[in-house]
Structure 1
């Protein structure tokens, strides 16, 4: 091995050489020579994808692979009106509606208002998600509802998607008329000789053919970005149409080095083991490392690169166990494949937001692999990676922070939140089907886990985590209030005197208020620079409320839709949900009550309170007219920072007045 040369691209390929064959036994001498080209290479070598890795178990599907997601488009269609649905002179009653279909999970119903043989559709535009190369057909069925239990098909319109016009701006698409084709039943097809049951063929009609028509406006919108991930963890914000793409601003390099102390996921030869591989996703590019067979500390040492178009995007790396090498799954397939299909076990994942990385700096760190299961949260090992974000233009990088996150069409013609979430689920299903057909395939459960497809499902644990996060946000305001109260009550005389003199300076020189405020925030940012994190953040068990979650709460989080639990379990969980919802309801009710009291100051719902406040405003207005503003500020400061001996223990009269104001809670049942 020491005599094998090393080749690094762009070096030219090594010339093959003749090597003499040697016999296994020394007493025999082998005859002949073999010509080989042998070298030691790296992952950048063009022969690396076809190289045979010794730790893959001899299975071709365990090799590394790079996948490119298909380009997804929004298909926008609007049904306008239909003409000549029924022959003239025919008395037809009943309603007309259209059924628009584009495969599983993408079907919509649109009613119409009939006026004789014509109909005008209403209900707005319909948006689908389609993937290149547009092999599907858009099917529009126009149906006549004869009675409550009987529908008759008027005709069908089939539109190949590759003929649909593409647009990338707000320019409207011209509507066009298409013919509604009559669907022929199998019994209506004429025989080969033109006769039916021995009867002569009917004579051909030379008159004009009656044809129904449908007016539609259909387009492929390339100005949107089709979301297949959650908005907060998106890795790509580029529009679908490549003509609108901006130049890349940098390169993201990821080195997947190794994993340590993985928990066994299967048993082989009487000992626990794992067959781990990694999936990394950023933008349209998915990568899959080779599967290291039978190791709890696999070594990959593979490197990949991506082009970066926006720094506020997220790189996702997941670790999974390959089920193909499980002996139990092999026996199950040999015995007929009964039972549920095998699934790749989830070991853990991590997310790295590129905006948290310094440019041109290599971060090498081991991240914990944490997985949440029905039995609780588990730490299943560590993943060591090296990541580097190289920027080609600092100006474009900094300018991206003031640009809109999504393409322009998302703001000029915005989609509703409900539409975006529904289309995201459809895009996820399309991506799952595409990657599952690849070789080697990426399992559906792996894609769903990487895309956080179930992030919108309700969870008691997530609700508690969100509540804690909200309290942490408001805790800074509460701490600021407590600090100001301590200053007013002279808890620290030095601090109170300093704040009082600073207040007097700002009153005398009000033009210094805004510069002082921004300078103060600048000093805070400079002070916190010393405590900046040295590595990107990772999954936090405490922040996720995973360690304090009860077993029943975890079991509820993994429950199916609809629930598969017994009625008594569902009833207990419903009561627990009601208890949580009541606390949230009380919190927001109190907040709304305080805001409604501000409206009640001038609404004359309480005539005496409104009269007092109106008279008070009149007196204050006269005082402010005749008194210099700086003097008012000084007197206000002296009153606020008065010593404790001049303060009482009872609430302030203004607080008492505000708490007595009415609110709309009096009108709630």
Structure 2
């Protein structure tokens, strides 16, 4: 429970009796860092006392601290047992703020309060993106988001390899549920999950603080990304772009179909007409042809596959275009420490964004309610028209073969633009006139 579900590295049950055998082994080589930016001043010049922490499953590892070096070399290797390939390995680089502090007098009460370690950057690697039994040696950028904006702190060189004894065990794990059985029989609520996650993070931080060498709470919070669910205009914009990007393929197909329908390329439209005739007269070929096309497109995309695991991306995170006010809001504490006037402006901005989301959800709900309204008789005339059209269509389909109807509809839909009206179709006009529950909301 200490990790977010989409970044989890361990889906095993709590009871060891329910653990399944491991499917492979993860090997991590923390080689070095280069071109680190100085994060402290020592003897009048900038420097860094860097160390690295890696977390996978319940095992946390930490390298030794390389003092006063902007290009530290660790050359340390660690291994983990892998029980699920769809998990994430997290590596973070930190600056040790304890080695350069003066000891002070012998009186413990006069010793300076230890400073938290400085976070330099982190890298996440999903094991499912790694080809098995292959060594990856790449350099990953260390990016950190500061109140002044995103900053590149340097690079870290890692060597990663995921090995397995049986590929069948790995493939079989893809068809198994992620979480233990009890999580599906008695699911935990979202609010309870957040509370348990905070509690688990505190327990892990307390345990690692007693380790040798110890790890501070700031290290645990940074690697576990505890603040990932707090409000951020930047994350909202990034999630919106992700949602739109996930629909890019559908939009591309829609544009292609619109191009075929408007005869942008007459040769392509002619071939589509021929394909329509073949699929109508041989309907058994529809699904095999569709699946074969999907296989061909996926096989063609294999040559453009990523050659290695990807690091953190400021472009996807919307960290390059964020302004100073949004950054200040993201780094503000809860409750806010800013003046009331500034909090009021930010609250109004959140209300505006919430109104847009509210309107989008309302539009989606209205479309679904209009579909339900076809048979609910909330509009007696509309339902009567729908029933009459369905009755006539059923008689037509009994009399005329389905092949002829499908071919006629296809040719009518693909007719030349000179025979097409620019106004919306009667079917669309009828659907837009159907009632919804929006007018009954207070």
Query: Is TM > 0.5 for Structure 1 vs Structure 2?
Result: yes
The two structures, once aligned, show a CA RMSD in angstroms of 1.7
Deviates more, 1:257-266 or 1:432-441: 432-441
Change (3 A) 1:589 1:307: same
Deviates more, 1:485-494 or 1:412-421: 412-421
Residue 362 of structure 2 corresponds to residue 589 of structure 1: yes
Question: Counterparts of 1:433 and 1:579 in 2: how far apart (Å)?
Answer: 41
Change (3 A) 1:334 1:500: farther
Question: Counterparts of 1:557 and 1:258 in 2: how far apart (Å)?
Answer: 31
Question: Counterparts of 1:341 and 1:572 in 2: how far apart (Å)?
Answer: 37
CA contact under 8 A between 1:311 and 1:354: conserved in structure 2?
Answer: yes
Question: Counterparts of 1:423 and 1:363 in 2: how far apart (Å)?
Answer: 35
Which of these residues, 549, 557, 576, is aligned with residue 330 of structure 2?
557
| SS, match of residue 472 in structure 1 | helix
Residue 53 of structure 2 corresponds to residue 279 of structure 1: yes
Residue 305 of structure 2 corresponds to residue 532 of structure 1: yes
Q: What's 2:431 paired with?
A: 658
Q: What's 1:306 paired with?
A: 80
Q: What TM-score comes out, normalization by structure 2 length? A: 0.96
Pairwise CA distance, 1:426: 1.1
| SS, match of residue 174 in structure 2 | helix
Q: What's 1:497 paired with?
A: 270
Change (3 A) 1:611 1:442: same
Aligned residues: 442
CA contact under 8 A between 2:92 and 2:123: conserved in structure 1?
Answer: yes
Q: What's 1:325 paired with?
A: 99
| SS, match of residue 479 in structure 1 | helix
| SS, match of residue 326 in structure 1 | coil
Which stretches in structure 2 are left out of the alignment for 5+ residues? Answer: none
Pairwise CA distance, 1:484: 0.9
Structure holding more helix per residue: 2
Change (3 A) 1:569 1:337: farther
Change (3 A) 1:339 1:611: farther
Question: Counterparts of 2:106 and 2:393 in 1: how far apart (Å)?
Answer: 86
Alignment of 1:573-588 (within 5 A): 573-588=346-361
Question: Counterparts of 1:412 and 1:657 in 2: how far apart (Å)?
Answer: 44
Alignment of 1:246-261 (within 5 A): 246-261=20-35
Question: Counterparts of 2:346 and 2:110 in 1: how far apart (Å)?
Answer: 36
Pairwise CA distance, 1:335: 9.5
Residue 297 of structure 2 corresponds to residue 518 of structure 1: no
Q: What's 2:11 paired with?
A: 237
Residues 182-214 of structure 1: CA distance to partner in whole angstroms, max 9, x if unpaired? Answer: xxxxxxxxxxxxxxxxxxxxxxxxxxxxxxxxx
| SS, match of residue 540 in structure 1 | coil
Pairwise CA distance, 1:637: 1.2
Residue 216 of structure 2 corresponds to residue 455 of structure 1: no
CA contact under 8 A between 1:280 and 1:287: conserved in structure 2?
Answer: yes
CA contact under 8 A between 2:132 and 2:161: conserved in structure 1?
Answer: yes
CA contact under 8 A between 1:266 and 1:326: conserved in structure 2?
Answer: no
Q: What TM-score comes out, normalization by structure 1 length? A: 0.64
Pairwise CA distance, 1:305: 0.8
Question: Counterparts of 1:571 and 1:629 in 2: how far apart (Å)?
Answer: 62
Question: Counterparts of 1:334 and 1:579 in 2: how far apart (Å)?
Answer: 56
Question: Counterparts of 2:103 and 2:175 in 1: how far apart (Å)?
Answer: 54
Question: Counterparts of 1:552 and 1:650 in 2: how far apart (Å)?
Answer: 45
Residues 10-63 of structure 1: CA distance to partner in whole angstroms, max 9, x if unpaired? Answer: xxxxxxxxxxxxxxxxxxxxxxxxxxxxxxxxxxxxxxxxxxxxxxxxxxxxxx
CA contact under 8 A between 2:38 and 2:47: conserved in structure 1?
Answer: yes
Residue 391 of structure 2 corresponds to residue 633 of structure 1: no
Residue 376 of structure 2 corresponds to residue 603 of structure 1: yes
Residues 225-268 of structure 1: CA distance to partner in whole angstroms, max 9, x if unpaired? Answer: xx211111111111122111111111111111110111101111
Question: Counterparts of 2:258 and 2:407 in 1: how far apart (Å)?
Answer: 19
Which of these residues, 23, 35, 39, is aligned with residue 265 of structure 1?
39
Q: What's 1:23 paired with?
A: none
Pairwise CA distance, 1:495: 1.2
Pairwise CA distance, 1:336: 5.0
CA contact under 8 A between 2:209 and 2:215: conserved in structure 1?
Answer: yes
CA contact under 8 A between 1:323 and 1:342: conserved in structure 2?
Answer: yes
Deviates more, 1:241-250 or 1:539-548: 241-250
Q: What's 2:90 paired with?
A: 316
Higher relative contact order (CA 8 A, sep 6+): 2
Residues 79-127 of structure 1: CA distance to partner in whole angstroms, max 9, x if unpaired? Answer: xxxxxxxxxxxxxxxxxxxxxxxxxxxxxxxxxxxxxxxxxxxxxxxxx
Pairwise CA distance, 1:451: 1.1
| SS, match of residue 138 in structure 2 | strand
Change (3 A) 1:340 1:481: farther
CA contact under 8 A between 1:347 and 1:371: conserved in structure 2?
Answer: yes
Residues 351-384 of structure 1: CA distance to partner in whole angstroms, max 9, x if unpaired? Answer: 0000000011100000000001112111100000
Residues 464-487 of structure 1: CA distance to partner in whole angstroms, max 9, x if unpaired? Answer: 111111111223222222211111
Alignment of 1:421-440 (within 5 A): 421-440=194-213
Question: Counterparts of 1:581 and 1:433 in 2: how far apart (Å)?
Answer: 38
Pairwise CA distance, 1:421: 2.4
List 4+ stretches of structure 1 deviating above 3 A: 329-341
Change (3 A) 1:340 1:510: farther
Work out which of the two has the higher radius of gyration on C-alpha atoms and give 1 or 2: 1
Pairwise CA distance, 1:506: 1.2
